[in-house]
């Protein structure tokens, strides 16, 4: 599967970046996250944990390379505490290709 970790609105709105949607706490995010256009805010490390908890073996996990520019944009986004406590290099991953199989 291919996972897009970015704020989908950033593709069309140049005033926000790929991490913009991570600035909101869960209560506020529910207001903005439409059921018609759901955006997933799970981060790369959380996917890994969930695959393993569900009994999948991770065959391959290829995240994009995180650049200094990505880290800079991440800091500009002023992350909510839930995301700010995570490793910046994990939060800054924009997409990944993942292959899993049932253990």
Q: What is the pLDDT of residues 19-40, one digit of tens each?
A: 999 999 999 999 989 888 889 9
Percent of the chain with pLDDT over 70: 100
Separation between Cα atoms, residue 43 and residue 83, nearest integer Å:
9
Instruction: Find the mean pLDDT for residues 45-62.
Output: 96
Q: What is the pLDDT of residues 36-51, one digit of tens each?
A: 888 999 999 999 999 9
Vertex 35 angle, CA 29 and 41, to 5°: 45
Res 17 pLDDT > 90: yes
pLDDT for the residue 36: 87
């Amino acid at each position: 599967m291919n996972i897009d970790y970015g704020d989908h609105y950033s593709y069309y709105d140049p005033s926000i970046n790929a991490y913009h949607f991570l600035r909101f706490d869960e209560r506020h995010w529910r207001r903005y996250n439409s059921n018609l256009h759901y955006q997933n805010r799970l981060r790369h490390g959380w996917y890994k944990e969930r695959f393993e908890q569900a009994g999948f073996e991770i065959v391959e996990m290829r995240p994009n390379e995180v650049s200094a520019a990505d880290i800079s944009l991440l800091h500009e986004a002023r992350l909510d505490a839930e995301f700010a406590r995570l490793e910046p290099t994990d939060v800054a991953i924009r997409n990944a290709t993942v292959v899993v199989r049932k253990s």
